[in-house]
């Protein structure tokens, strides 16, 4: 999240009152992330997140916002977009497509334990199952087609060694996409970006007991893709050592077991998990290189280190993920 478009207190007040969300009390820009303009707002009714979309179009946004409403209706704890009197979920502020969602309780857990990974794995499986009857279609816009378009653009900025690694892995992923096992992978809406900072936890009555997953948010990289890719994105963030990118076996096993207890993995998923773990690492290495070398100006911006996912990819190649019987059913 970042601030590219400045919104004044008076502008936000009028906008929120038009949606009958109450009288604005506080307005604060959010740092972190790089795709949209985000503000934390509080009215006399409730706390919300106000988002102005800098890249996504009015035509693309209904997929994301309607998916969130669909999941919320099916009991998945996600932000529920506010509608106007016509039932629209996409609005306009300062000429930009805009949405307002309720702000989730709790906080992100940046040092997850086995207990956190179990809850995320189980909820991700529930989310995938809940999305099966969602009737809107939009591909994952940061999938293989985008990688093939973007890698040639960023190659002039990287070292010779990095260029060779990018091209080699891209060729491998193009090969994987032609396999019959890949075509048979279960598909549906995915989150696509379910990192540690996109999940909220709270504890019961403020006590230091088992964490409670309060919700998933930031669905603006969602799309129709393989559920295995979504799993792999999570494993590459929740279940690794951040310093080295190496897999944490205990957290990985806990995540996959919890997921499989809700939705058992199919044979093709077990076969291609090592390849999809590499794909997920490649996706974020490419996007971070893109954002580093071709940035946009922002009032508040935190850049992410692309070399982190280069390390993750290297680990996934050297030490492919393996599944035990307890993580597949």
> Same domain for 49 and 88?
yes
117 three-state secondary structure: helix
pLDDT band for position 255 (50/70/90)?
A: very high
Answer with the one of 81, 102, 123 that is the final residue of a domain: 102
Residue 247: its pLDDT value, please? 97
The CA distance from 57 to 75, in Å, is 28
The yes-or-no verdict on residue 70 having pLDDT over 50 is yes
Residue 273: its pLDDT value, please? 98
The CA distance from 259 to 118, in Å, is 8
Residue 288: its pLDDT value, please? 96
The yes-or-no verdict on residue 173 having pLDDT over 70 is yes
> Same domain for 32 and 93?
yes
Helix (H) or strand (E) holding 71: helix 61-73
> Same domain for 97 and 121?
no
Instruction: Residue 30: give its domain's CATH number.
Output: 3.30.200.20
> Same domain for 138 and 96?
no
> Same domain for 202 and 130?
yes
144-172 burial string, b = 16+ CB within 10 Å, else e?
bebbeebbeebeeebeeebeebbeebbee
Residue 51, domain extent: 9-102
The yes-or-no verdict on residue 248 having pLDDT over 50 is yes
**Bigger pLDDT: 204 vs 306:** 306
Bridge partners for 53 per DSSP: 36
Instruction: Residue 210: give its domain's CATH number.
Output: 3.90.1200.10
pLDDT (tens digit, 9 = 90+) per residue, 208-241? 578 899 999 999 999 999 999 999 999 999 999 9
> Same domain for 135 and 32?
no
CB 3 within 8 A of CB 32: no
The yes-or-no verdict on residue 297 having pLDDT over 90 is no
The yes-or-no verdict on residue 327 having pLDDT over 70 is no
Residue 163: its pLDDT value, please? 98
Residue 57: its pLDDT value, please? 84
Among 56-60, 75-79, 229-233, name the one with the lowest average pLDDT: 56-60
pLDDT (tens digit, 9 = 90+) per residue, 90-111? 999 999 999 999 999 999 999 9
CB atoms within 10 A of CB 301: 17
The yes-or-no verdict on residue 298 having pLDDT over 60 is no
Pairs from 144-152 (Cβ < 8 Å, separation ≥ 24): 144/173, 144/174, 144/177, 144/279, 146/286, 147/173, 147/282, 147/283, 147/286, 148/174, 150/286, 150/287, 150/290, 151/286
Q: Among residues 313, 321, 317, 310, which one has the least CA distance to residue 265?
A: 321
In a domain, 84, yes or no: yes
Answer with the one of 102, 134, 164 that is the final residue of a domain: 102
pLDDT (tens digit, 9 = 90+) per residue, 18-42? 999 999 999 999 865 557 899 999 9
> Same domain for 80 and 160?
no
Largest CA distance in the chain: 58
The yes-or-no verdict on residue 44 having pLDDT over 90 is yes
**Bigger pLDDT: 31 vs 10:** 10
The CA distance from 252 to 269, in Å, is 15
pLDDT band for position 50 (50/70/90)?
A: very high
The yes-or-no verdict on residue 1 having pLDDT over 50 is no
The CA distance from 81 to 88, in Å, is 9
CB atoms within 10 A of CB 17: 13
* Main-chain phi, psi angles of 15, to 5 degrees: -65, -50
Q: How many domains does the chain have?
A: 2
Residue 188: its pLDDT value, please? 98
The yes-or-no verdict on residue 260 having pLDDT over 50 is yes
In a domain, 129, yes or no: yes
> Same domain for 74 and 215?
no
Q: Which string of DSSP letters, residue by residue, matches 161-225?
A: HHHHHHHHHHHHHHHHTTSHHHHTS-EEEE-S---GGGEEEE-GGG-SSS-EEEEE---TT-EEE
Q: What is the mean pLDDT of the chain?
A: 92
Please give the distance of CA 262 from its chain centroid, rounded to a whole number. Answer: 20
CB 259 within 8 A of CB 307: no
């Amino acid at each position: 999240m970042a601030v590219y478009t400045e919104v004044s207190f008076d502008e936000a007040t009028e906008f929120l009152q038009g949606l009958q969300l109450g009288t604005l009390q506080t307005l604060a820009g959010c740092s972190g992330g790089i795709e949209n303009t985000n503000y934390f707002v509080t009215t006399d009714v409730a706390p919300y997140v106000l988002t102005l979309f800098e890249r996504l179009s009015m035509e693309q946004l209904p997929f994301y916002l309607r998916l969130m409403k669909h999941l919320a209706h099916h009991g998945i704890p996600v932000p529920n977009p506010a509608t106007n009197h016509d039932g629209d979920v996409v609005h306009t502020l300062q000429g930009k497509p805009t949405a307002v969602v309720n702000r989730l309780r709790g906080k992100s857990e940046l040092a997850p334990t086995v207990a956190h990974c179990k809850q995320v794995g189980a909820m991700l499986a529930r989310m995938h199952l809940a999305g099966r009857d969602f009737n809107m279609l939009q591909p994952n816009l940061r999938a293989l087609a985008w990688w093939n378009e973007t890698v040639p653009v960023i190659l002039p900025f990287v070292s010779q060694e990095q260029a060779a690694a990018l091209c080699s892995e891209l060729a491998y992923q193009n090969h994987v996409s032609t396999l019959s096992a890949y075509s048979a992978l279960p598909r549906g809406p995915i989150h696509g970006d379910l990192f540690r900072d996109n999940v909220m936890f709270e504890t019961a009555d403020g006590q230091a007991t088992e964490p409670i997953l309060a919700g998933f948010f930031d669905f603006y990289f969602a799309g129709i893709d393989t559920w295995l890719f979504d799993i792999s994105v999570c494993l590459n963030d929740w279940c690794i050592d951040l310093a080295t990118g190496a897999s944490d076996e205990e957290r990985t096993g806990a995540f996959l077991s919890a997921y499989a207890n809700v939705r058992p993995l199919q044979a093709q998923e077990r076969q291609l998990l090592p390849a999809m773990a590499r794909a997920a690492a490649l996706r974020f290495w490419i996007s971070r290189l893109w954002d580093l070398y071709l940035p946009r100006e922002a009032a508040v911006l935190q850049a992410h280190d692309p070399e982190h996912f280069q390390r993750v990819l290297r680990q996934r190649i050297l030490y492919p993920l393996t599944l035990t019987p307890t993580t597949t059913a």
